[in-house]
């Protein structure tokens, strides 16, 4: 068990213009569960593979514990990886798959057997130990992939979108199992996903990446409450935060016919800012921004209103989303007023940074 640290790690593929991973600085504490999340191409998988040694590090260092492993072979790093499509050895049984690494490490047969049984019990794989991967369902194969990682008792687990090949229901189930397992074993885990819900529910901390650059790494709550920039603000939370790019006039911005006060420190810094409000932070009622509803999504407990801000002289402006109570939501075509809840406004500079 050890910490995992990226120190200015960079990976630049010769063919492309920008680095796949750009001077990444991130440290995962011993026993922590950190999720790397972001849209495809953001560099999260590449970063994971750099820890494993499957990608060369062009500049910067990778440390596992106190050891600098940047130049080490994968087999010397003592990390285990769960691949997206599991990479199970098709010609070996489940037991042999799990025991392969242990056999190479020359662990005694008795110990190998014991570890495999332990892991199998933990993952409900006992009845399948003598089967081959082709005879298993997707969920079972996924558990074998995890079992293969667990028996090695490595310093860190690396997981590359392990749930993406499962159907939705299984995904939720397995998500919980993985989180519980990690808490029980206490192994440092770095987990990659493109699904922000997985990230928010599983991670101790979440690192949001975009175009190879780390945007923000913080606990899920922090990411939700104070996103560091527009990208994070939009990425985290579903439906996404409403973002309006507006000029500042007299310490306020105008949304439709509603004026929103902007704190003075912020207006001093910028002429045009981006204002963010999450759909769930509107009060539907008497005052605030006026909205023309185009679509109502009823989800049972909640309903989401999709529409546009209506302005002076009935012009239609920016799109806006608001959450309403599912019991009796407004109808399509209605106009409602949305009052932003105090304390839930986010302000960003024109370049995306959070203000102040």
Q: Which residues bind other proteins (CB under 8 A)?
A: 52-54, 56-59, 70-71, 73-75, 77, 79-81, 83, 85, 87, 89-91, 100-101, 104-105, 132-134, 148, 152
Cβ 346 to other proteins shortest distance, Å: 40
Taking a C-beta distance cutoff of 8 angstroms, is the pair 310, 290 a contact?
yes
Q: Between 137 and 176, name the residue whose CB sits nearer to other proteins.
A: 137
Tokens 């175009």, residue located: 211
Q: Which of 261, 264, 270, 302 is nearest to 284 (CA)?
A: 302
- Considering only the C-alpha atoms of the chain, give the largest distance between any 2 of them, rounded to a whole number of Å: 81
Q: Between 99 and 307, name the residue whose CB sits nearer to other proteins.
A: 99
Strand partners of residue 247: 272
Count of positions (residues) in the chain: 356
Cβ 199 to other proteins shortest distance, Å: 23
Q: Between 83 and 316, name the residue whose CB sits nearer to other proteins.
A: 83
Cβ 54 to other proteins shortest distance, Å: 5
Q: Between 132 and 308, name the residue whose CB sits nearer to other proteins.
A: 132
Cα–Cα dist 196/223, whole Å: 11
Q: Between 62 and 324, name the residue whose CB sits nearer to other proteins.
A: 62
Q: To 5 degrees, how large is the angle CA 30–CA 36–CA 41?
A: 150
Q: Between 102 and 253, name the residue whose CB sits nearer to other proteins.
A: 102
Q: What is the dihedral of CA 203, 204, 205, 206, to 10 degrees?
A: 10
Cβ 58 to other proteins shortest distance, Å: 7
Cβ 156 to other proteins shortest distance, Å: 11
Under DSSP, the state recorded for 229 is B
Taking a C-beta distance cutoff of 8 angstroms, is the pair 311, 256 a contact?
yes
Backbone angles phi, psi at 223, to 5 degrees: -65, -35
What string of DSSP letters covers 321-345? EEEEESSSPPPTT-EEEEEEPTT--
Q: Between 103 and 183, name the residue whose CB sits nearer to other proteins.
A: 103
Cβ 133 to other proteins shortest distance, Å: 6
Q: Between 73 and 351, name the residue whose CB sits nearer to other proteins.
A: 73
Taking a C-beta distance cutoff of 8 angstroms, is the pair 31, 222 a contact?
no
Cβ 123 to other proteins shortest distance, Å: 18
Q: Between 34 and 81, name the residue whose CB sits nearer to other proteins.
A: 81
Cβ 169 to other proteins shortest distance, Å: 22
Which secondary structure element, helix H or strand E, spans residue 76, and what is its range?
Answer: none
What string of DSSP letters covers 34-68? EEEE-STTSSHHHHHHHHHTSS--SEEEEEETTEE
Cβ 175 to other proteins shortest distance, Å: 22
What's CA 149's distance to the chain center, in Å?
22
Cα–Cα dist 191/65, whole Å: 18
- List the structure tokens of 263: 């704190």
Q: Between 96 and 339, name the residue whose CB sits nearer to other proteins.
A: 96
What's CA 75's distance to the chain center, in Å?
28
Cβ 91 to other proteins shortest distance, Å: 5
Q: Which of 229, 237, 283, 277 is nearest to 253 (CA)?
A: 277
């Amino acid at each position: 068990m050890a910490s995992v640290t990226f120190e200015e790690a960079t990976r630049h593929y010769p063919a492309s213009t920008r680095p796949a991973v750009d001077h990444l600085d991130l440290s995962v504490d011993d026993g922590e569960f950190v999720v790397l999340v972001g849209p495809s191409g953001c560099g999260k998988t590449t970063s994971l593979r750099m820890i494993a040694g499957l990608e060369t590090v062009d500049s910067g260092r990778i440390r596992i514990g106190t050891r600098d492993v940047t130049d080490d072979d994968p087999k010397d790093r003592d990390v285990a990886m769960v691949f997206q499509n599991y990479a199970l050895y098709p010609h070996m049984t489940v037991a042999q798959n799990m025991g392969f690494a242990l056999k190479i490490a020359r662990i005694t047969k008795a110990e190998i057997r014991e570890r495999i049984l332990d892991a199998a019990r933990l993952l409900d794989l006992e009845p399948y130990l003598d089967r081959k991967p082709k005879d298993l369902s997707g969920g079972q194969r996924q558990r074998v992939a995890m079992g293969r990682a667990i028996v090695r008792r490595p310093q860190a687990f690396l997981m590359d979108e392990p749930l993406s090949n499962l159907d939705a229901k299984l995904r939720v189930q397995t998500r919980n199992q993985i989180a519980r397992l990690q808490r029980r074993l206490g192994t440092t885990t770095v987990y990659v996903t493109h699904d922000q819900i997985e990230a928010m529910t599983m991670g101790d901390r979440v690192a949001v990446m975009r175009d190879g650059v780390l945007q923000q790494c913080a606990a899920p709550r922090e990411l939700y409450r104070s996103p560091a920039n527009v990208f994070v603000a939009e990425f985290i939370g579903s439906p996404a935060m409403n973002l309006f790019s507006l000029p500042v006039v007299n310490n306020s911005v105008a949304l439709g016919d509603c004026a929103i006060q902007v704190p003075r420190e912020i207006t001093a810094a910028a002429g045009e800012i981006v204002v963010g409000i999450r759909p769930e932070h509107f009060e539907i009622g008497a005052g605030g921004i006026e909205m023309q509803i185009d679509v109502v999504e009823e989800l049972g407990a909640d309903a989401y209103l999709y529409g546009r801000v209506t302005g002076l002289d009935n012009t239609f402006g920016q799109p806006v989303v608001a959450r309403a109570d599912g019991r009796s939501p407004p109808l399509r075509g209605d106009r409602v007023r949305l009052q932003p809840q105090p304390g839930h406004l986010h302000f960003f500079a024109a370049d995306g940074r959070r203000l102040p």
